[in-house]
Amino acid sequence: MTDVSKRVDTVKLVIDGVEVTAEKGELVIRVAERMGIAIPRFCDHPLLAPAGACRQCLVEVEGQRKPVASCTQTVAEGMVVKTQLSSPVAAKAQAGVMELLLINHPLDCPTCDKGGECPLQNQAMSTGRADSRFVEEKREYQKPIHISSQVLLDRERCVLCQRCTRFSEEIAGDKFIDLMDRSSGEQINVYRDDFFGGDGTGDGEVGDGDGDVPFNSYFSGNTIQICPVGALTGEQYRFRARPFDLVSTPSACEHCASGCSQRTDHRRGKVLRRLAGDDPAVNEEWNCDKGRWGFRYATATDRIMTPLVRDAATGELREAAWSEALLAAAEGLKAARERGVGVLPGGRLTVEDAYAYAKFARTVLGTNDIDFRARPVRATGSSTGITEEADFLAANVAGGTGVTYEDVENAPSVLIVGLEPEEEAPILFLRLRKGHRKGKLRITAVSSYLSRGLEKLGAALVAAVPGGEAHLLGTDPAVAAALSAPGSLLIVGERLAEVPGGLSAAAALADRSGARLAWVPRRAGDRGAIDAGCLPNLLPGGRPVTEAGARAELSLAWKAEPGALPGTAGRDVDRIIAAAADGTLGALLVGGVDPADLTDPQRAEEALDAVPFLVSLEIRQSAVTRRADVVLPIAPAVEKAGTYMDWEGRLRSFGAVLKSTAMTDGRVLEAIAALLDVTLNTGDVMAIRRELGGLPGSTASSPAQPAAEAARPAQPAGDEAVLATWHQLIDLGSLLDGDQVLAGTARPPVARIGKDLAESLGVGDGDLVTASTARGSVTLPAAITDLPPRVVWLPTNSPGSTVRRSLGVTAGAVVKLSAGVPGPILAEEVAQ
């Protein structure tokens, strides 16, 4: 219990004969709860505005004629409250409401997913009657109906508490579900229409469902979790298990850098569902649908369970014993060590595993050619700013920015650049929205258009042509104004690295305005990999590789030979790929990297083909494992313990959910190192944590911020446009594989063009538009959007729009636009 008595604005009241001090404005139900008095409730939820709809929490307040709802009644000085524990009136009122709630509730608890963890079931036991007096017919509905491809609604189970609709409106801002009809026919539903509306829920409930508008929200799973009955269920879990058969494990989400606390439930070695964990400092009680449902990749049929070695005779990969595979990897790396080995650990590692890669690269391979960034790190074809992001991360991010979720919620103003919060950091989006809803947080975004997500944040847009953000950060008055209030925050997304001079301008802007700066990457392992030393210019603990003192500290801690650690900055990801392609490097050690995520997937795959020796540590078959000489299977997040570091720099430790023989990256690297006579000591998570904890504090001075020149956006001509692009939350990412139902909730890919381009191309909404480069083309239906002139937006990696693979370019590049499908296909059709 928090000690509220010391605060000034408190009142004293009596609940069930016990005097209690409460904060002014506090709700009676909360004060009672703090005292250990559980008042039954359904509509009440601490993170939603009071509704007073279910009437289950009625209590007696002295001086009031009628029982009052304790979930809406605020405390007052001298108030005397009697709950069901001391008031027969309150007890009778609660029992009466419970009886009424149950008259139309089906007795399908034995087959209902909620049975066993159901607030209605539990409170019917505490507050209800043993026998029903109700002898009339119960209300019936068709059951269940789809309100999205993922979410199912059993209306007859619904007690109409409106938690789901209130969540969707207040928290997520996706008001796609609402009350329909009235009286006992009142129900939750989506907008259904035969003639108007959107994409259809496909359940044939009204007409053929073509005109229905589904529950289109990235946060829809939360409504299932807060539903106090079994009315809302997820397609993925429905009828799969009973709660009392599940084993629950606290876990951390492995998807984005938001760092959600989760609960993973498994039964007989199989994960059946994940729920949002309760962490007020981070995700409160919410998570996104990707985090909730995106876990089936770990049980995909292409999971690798046995090491693979490329057979010298056949040239094919074959299964091998661990001893053989580890020896092959060790010998191959040893042979390549002289020429050089590049290490691409990827951004999905735990801090512990990232540290293992960092230590392995330095102590076993003797190289700084290590880069966790599996994404474009600079603009297409840009020759400037080669080390800009690495310098920025070293100077401004390593060791922590100190900015937290709480800071975001309470800031007077936030400027966002290079980040689309709803798509790339959904929980940060929810916290921004919370600040916005409280009416105090002003949000400004430098982006190419005001997306639906930004609209929900009430954001003001500083319209930017991709590539021009750096210049705007330096000169735009709206940008300066957004950071003028003390306590303002500048939130920078990883995509700003693609703008030459972008991160330099952001760092300078933060200095100039006094605003604190935060950097938000897209993957769960990105932030931790920086401090773990997975950058070509940084050793663990944010130590610059070029500082002899920093190297000496680590040499001592690692018991390495003095001077053994390489003292010059290594190659970044693009240069490692280039060096592998041109034969400079003798080998590559690749972790969880999908070449499709790199600046130029085709070039990356050519490099993987060209490099003489390739070791892959992977969970499933991938474009890397197919090309590897040795494939070493490692454990997915659910089968190992570890720690993610979220964008704040907060550690999110978790234990293994499933018992497994699968090994962590660190354990595998330790085994390889042992064969090369190095004791890596990264085989055990606790050992790594102890080692990390025992490292001395860095005495190295902070490196200088980058000061790259701000670029100007490209100048498209004729039928060209500048490309804007970012990932949608639900897309073709490999961690979303294996779940068609979840994929069904993705936003349909569209090509966004402004009115200018729509007119010059002669296309309207929904007509096909093709963006092409010398590499290839992407064709999508057009969505006419308020974009700057001559800018086209495409989803980075969605069905039909794999920008990097198909076009070979990144944001800011110039692409050619045309109406309809590309020529050759059309010509073939004509020929037919």
Partner 1 sequence: MTQPRPEVLQKLTPVLTKRWLSPDAWRIGVYERLDGYLALRKALDVHPDDLIQLVKDSGLRGRGGAGFPTGLKWGFIPQGDGKPHYLVINADEGEPGTCKDLPLMTYDPHSLVEGAIIASYAIRANRAYIYIRGEAVHAARRLRNAVQEAYAKGYLGKNILGSGFDLDLVVHSGAGAYICGEETALLDSLEGFRGQPRLRPPFPAIAGLYASPTVVNNVGTIASVPYIVLGGADWWKSMGTEKSAGPMIYSLSGRITNPGQYECGLGITLRELIELAGGMKPGHNLRFWTPGGSSTPILTAEHIDTPMDFEGVSAAGSILGTTAMQIFSDQDCPVYNTWRWLEFYHHESCGKCTPCREGNYWMVRTYRRILAGQGTYTDLDTLQDTADNIFGRSFCGLGDGAATPVVSTLKWFRQDYLDYIEGRTAPRLSEKSLVGAH
Task: List residues binding partner 1 (CB under 8 A).
Answer: 50-56, 58, 65-67, 72, 92-93, 96-97, 99-101, 103-104, 133-137, 139, 159-160, 178-179, 181-186
Nearer to partner 1, 93 or 742 (CB): 93
Nearer to partner 1, 55 or 752 (CB): 55
Nearer to partner 1, 67 or 592 (CB): 67
Both tokens of 396, joined, read 């401004």
Q: Greatest CA separation found in the chain? A: 92
Both tokens of 209, joined, read 């469902």
Instruction: Round to whole Å and give the CA distance between 668 and 5.
Output: 55
Instruction: Round to whole Å and give the CA distance between 386 and 383.
Output: 7
356, 682 Cβ separation under 8 angstroms:
yes
Instruction: Round to whole Å and give the CA distance between 556 and 366.
Output: 16
Nearer to partner 1, 96 or 115 (CB): 96
Nearer to partner 1, 92 or 516 (CB): 92
- The least CB distance from residue 748 to partner 1, in Å, is 29
- The least CB distance from residue 119 to partner 1, in Å, is 14
Nearer to partner 1, 185 or 207 (CB): 185
Both tokens of 80, joined, read 């005397």
Both tokens of 221, joined, read 């799973």
Both tokens of 479, joined, read 């940008």
Nearer to partner 1, 93 or 464 (CB): 93
Instruction: Round to whole Å and give the CA distance between 373 and 354.
Output: 12
Residue with tokens 């497994």: 660
431, 405 Cβ separation under 8 angstroms:
yes
- The least CB distance from residue 400 to partner 1, in Å, is 42
The region, left, alpha or beta by phi > 0 then psi within -120 to 50, assigned to residue 770 is beta
- The least CB distance from residue 190 to partner 1, in Å, is 15
Instruction: Round to whole Å and give the CA distance between 146 and 699.
Output: 59
Nearer to partner 1, 80 or 100 (CB): 100
If one counts every other C-beta atom within 10 angstroms of the C-beta of residue 125, the result is 9
Both tokens of 134, joined, read 């109700």
- The least CB distance from residue 97 to partner 1, in Å, is 5
Residues 6+ apart with CB under 8 A from 496: 417, 418, 419, 469, 502, 503, 506
Nearer to partner 1, 182 or 268 (CB): 182
Instruction: Round to whole Å and give the CA distance between 217 and 190.
Output: 12
- The least CB distance from residue 756 to partner 1, in Å, is 35
- The least CB distance from residue 223 to partner 1, in Å, is 19
Instruction: Round to whole Å and give the CA distance between 393 and 527.
Output: 10
283, 290 Cβ separation under 8 angstroms:
no
- The least CB distance from residue 456 to partner 1, in Å, is 19
Instruction: Round to whole Å and give the CA distance between 192 and 215.
Output: 11
User: Which residue type occupies 210?
Assistant: D
- The least CB distance from residue 103 to partner 1, in Å, is 6
- The least CB distance from residue 196 to partner 1, in Å, is 18
Nearer to partner 1, 76 or 386 (CB): 76
DSSP for residue 498 = G
User: Which residue type occupies 760?
Assistant: S
Nearer to partner 1, 56 or 413 (CB): 56
Nearer to partner 1, 66 or 755 (CB): 66
Considering only CA atoms, which of 361, 724, 374, 353 is closest in space to residue 521? 374
129, 159 Cβ separation under 8 angstroms:
no
Rg (C-alpha) for the chain, rounded Å, is 29
Q: Is the dihedral of CA 352, 356, 359, 361 positive or negative?
A: negative
- The least CB distance from residue 572 to partner 1, in Å, is 54
Q: What angle do CA 253, 256, 262 make, to 5 degrees?
A: 20
- The least CB distance from residue 443 to partner 1, in Å, is 22
Nearer to partner 1, 136 or 561 (CB): 136
- The least CB distance from residue 439 to partner 1, in Å, is 12
